[in-house]
Structure 1
């Protein structure tokens, strides 16, 4: 199956939806591809239709914004301006002269290939969780913070009855409050950052008073549900035999060392842990887009340095839904102008640009505040599994970087197989980098996900 579209948008989260709406409203035909069975992305993840949720808005923040996005896309779909392809997992994008071939696997089995051809491409592929290992993190009952949230939003189920939410970053707040409101006993929120770090960044954080008010609201919800907040603490170990039974947390000194005598054991059957987010850049890397750190570099119009390719949302840097909406809107308007052969008018997206700049200032400061605690790698024992796909331990990584002399992630991978499994290093690469002392560099791959040989064999020779 091959379709022709003026614009292909990969990702139906806030950035992708905003970009698709801005382009469709101005006469551009859009094909929107997304791996989920419903639009919304992680921020607006919807319960499965079969569950018949009566009040899905109870699980979400800024529900009216979602309603405007949802209803706008529905109108454009009905008018034939947007084609929404759900359950489509994009594994590669090819650039051929002035057009693009977007290759995707569709359906639950992901054995059927689809190619969408377009004149322009908007990458709104979002981000994924940054998780750092610790002894016991592979026990059943240990989940990522975003995974716990996805279970609640998408499946209307709790990951457990007694939950500890731990790590660092603003995502911990909605996860803890959401689980508590849904009936879980959240015994503690363990945050490695302390108030002093927030105060040092107060002027930059003040760029968005709305976000500060949102944070205060979450703090009130935590108090309402009786959730203990343990600041400047980190998880040292998860305990259990067949599944999680408890976690040990310790207080952090300023240099990242654990304060002597501060270890404390918290009984729980679930640990939801996360250390922020990282941008999804696989497709951008395949196309040759320049990265700025771990994110895709984009100009003021959200254009990458590859002609015809725009990027918006978390793929250009982690910054939340409001920033993603602003970037998506700017990208959509820029794409319209470029496809119509006219000069873009920055005044037409001035409000979105102001919102983008404000959000970027805020999240740049927030990212600096919520960095993983110093010295985390030193606390990982040699026996701790780091790469779960290939069962590579921290000791093997240290041996590769030490006696064997590996100086980059690729060499560590070749010596240990860390990152050669199903996830291709998405989960373990930050930990391997921290343990080995190697820089966290992107691994450019021809495919963004595993592809059946039958699909590859069925592609045209060109």
Structure 2
């Protein structure tokens, strides 16, 4: 049995490729339908690319609304611990699935940067805004500004417009000429030019200004965001004095790239390099029988994730003993070259740390301010992620550092000059929240 965790572009293609090679596949995902964030469907729809293949292939069992909370290494494979059913529903039950080979395609979540007022209602991540717009047809606000960095801001703006919102502006923190540093990557991604042209037409048609070297540095309001302060940034993202402007809004969508969802990869003891899962050309990790595809291995978008998923599915089937053809690696290599260009064109510069004030919350769950974080660093010499969490409470709340951990690690490194591994926040025995009663239950087999 091959178990694929995650039903986005990478997971769908991995499941299809493995099944086409004759393997039995269990595809596990938290959503009610396949597609992931990129191909998110409206409630009741199930027409994401590849969804029909998943539904009609007798070799693929799709476990929807299922969360993997732990992976355990056992003889001849891995034991995958699953809870199936709605998180707050009475029929949720626990069971275990044996994996002879495992494909991790858990994707990534929005990278958030703290700034004054980011904890106000109405300030959301770009991914959350898109999920509401695509999944429920609901705009996060009537008058919205989209800010951050990276091409993902454009489809988010499109989704908001389609949901009926007035997008006041799209603010890109980096400079427009960032791609000049990666001409080969630009050539590799030339197939994206048509998509880019479509977004440009959308912005022009709806008279949405697209501003580079500018972003939201503060949100204001009582009980809810009503205004934002935007400013022009220099090359390192420090504010250029005198460029600050206030804009009236009722919602803010911010996105500064993505952070890979590493919990299960760490649980499976996969080796990480620079915060991503290390894989070879066959998408094999450092753990025999465990493969990874998609944003876990590097942020590169849906096309690259799908290509890597196909390779991972074929490799997993071959590991299980099925006869397989040699995978075509051209799409993966081209996609990775383009991803390198994305990384160069849309970096997160350290100047964002200068936007914070002492009372800016760094950890929203535990309400830890930037000033409190500095105090913990000064008073307790917190020189690692674990000691930082224990002395300041950053990352000890419900999100377990998924939202704040990376930013807190960067802030701590900037203050002390030490090394704080953001991936350390993914090291936990349980990869998903569980009730104590659920943990105590006997799993079905």
TM range (shorter): over 0.9
Shift of 1:40: 0.7
Aligned counterpart for 2:412 among listed residues 412, 415, 436: 436
Any conservation in 2 of the 1:206–1:212 contact (CA below 8 Å)? Answer: no
Provide the TM-score with structure 1 as the length reference: 0.91
Q: Which runs of 5+ in 1 are unaligned?
A: 1-5, 57-62
Query: For residues 153 and 256 of structure 2, what CA distance do their matches in structure 1 show?
Result: 9
Residue in 2 aligned with 1:3?
Answer: none
Aligned counterpart for 1:416 among listed residues 392, 414, 439: 392
Query: For residues 432 and 162 of structure 2, what CA distance do their matches in structure 1 show?
Result: 36
Shift of 1:402: 2.9
Q: Which runs of 5+ in 2 are unaligned?
A: 414-418
Q: 1:358-399 CA deviation, whole Å, 9 max, x = no partner?
A: 111111111122112331112211101111111111111112
Query: For residues 340 and 373 of structure 1, what CA distance do their matches in structure 2 show?
Result: 47
- After the TM superposition, which of the residue ranges 14-23 and 99-108 deviates more from structure 2? 99-108
Shift of 1:255: 3.6
Aligned counterpart for 2:83 among listed residues 97, 102, 105: 105
Residue in 2 aligned with 1:59?
Answer: none
Query: For residues 27 and 198 of structure 1, what CA distance do their matches in structure 2 show?
Result: 43
Q: Secondary structure at the match of 2:73?
A: strand
Aligned ranges 1:73-88 → 2 under 5 Å: 73-76=54-57, 80-88=58-66
Residue in 2 aligned with 1:226?
Answer: 207
Any conservation in 1 of the 2:285–2:292 contact (CA below 8 Å)? Answer: yes
Any conservation in 2 of the 1:165–1:172 contact (CA below 8 Å)? Answer: yes
Residue in 2 aligned with 1:186?
Answer: 167
Query: For residues 451 and 226 of structure 1, what CA distance do their matches in structure 2 show?
Result: 46
Aligned ranges 1:109-148 → 2 under 5 Å: 109=88, 111-148=92-129
Q: Secondary structure at the match of 1:451?
A: coil
Shift of 1:411: 1.1
Following TM superposition, the consecutive aligned residue runs of length 4 or more in structure 1 with deviations greater than 3 angstroms are: none
Q: Secondary structure at the match of 1:402?
A: helix
Q: Secondary structure at the match of 1:206?
A: helix
Are residues 1:402 and 2:397 paired? no
Are residues 1:451 and 2:434 paired? yes
Any conservation in 1 of the 2:66–2:83 contact (CA below 8 Å)? Answer: yes
Query: For residues 202 and 449 of structure 1, what CA distance do their matches in structure 2 show?
Result: 41
Query: For residues 401 and 252 of structure 2, what CA distance do their matches in structure 1 show?
Result: 22
Query: For residues 339 and 266 of structure 1, what CA distance do their matches in structure 2 show?
Result: 58
Residue in 1 aligned with 2:137?
Answer: 156
Residue in 2 aligned with 1:94?
Answer: 72
Any conservation in 1 of the 2:21–2:322 contact (CA below 8 Å)? Answer: no
Residue in 1 aligned with 2:363?
Answer: 387
- After the TM superposition, which of the residue ranges 447-456 and 277-286 deviates more from structure 2? 447-456
Aligned ranges 1:219-368 → 2 under 5 Å: 219-340=200-321, 345=325, 348-350=326-328, 353-368=329-344
Shift of 1:455: 2.7
Residue in 2 aligned with 1:60?
Answer: none
Shift of 1:206: 1.6
Query: For residues 170 and 459 of structure 1, what CA distance do their matches in structure 2 show?
Result: 46
Aligned counterpart for 2:40 among listed residues 33, 41, 45: 45
Change (3 A) 1:211 1:402: farther
Q: Secondary structure at the match of 2:438?
A: helix
Residue in 2 aligned with 1:34?
Answer: 29
Shift of 1:459: 4.0
Shift of 1:196: 2.2
Query: For residues 148 and 327 of structure 2, what CA distance do their matches in structure 1 show?
Result: 37
Any conservation in 2 of the 1:131–1:144 contact (CA below 8 Å)? Answer: yes
Aligned residues: 435
Shift of 1:341: 6.4
Query: For residues 442 and 287 of structure 2, what CA distance do their matches in structure 1 show?
Result: 24
Q: 1:44-67 CA deviation, whole Å, 9 max, x = no partner?
A: 111111xxx7xx9xxxxxx8xx44
- After the TM superposition, which of the residue ranges 399-408 and 386-395 deviates more from structure 2? 399-408
Q: 1:317-352 CA deviation, whole Å, 9 max, x = no partner?
A: 11111111111101111111121166x65xx312xx
Change (3 A) 1:133 1:209: same
Shift of 1:287: 1.2
Provide the TM-score with structure 2 as the length reference: 0.94
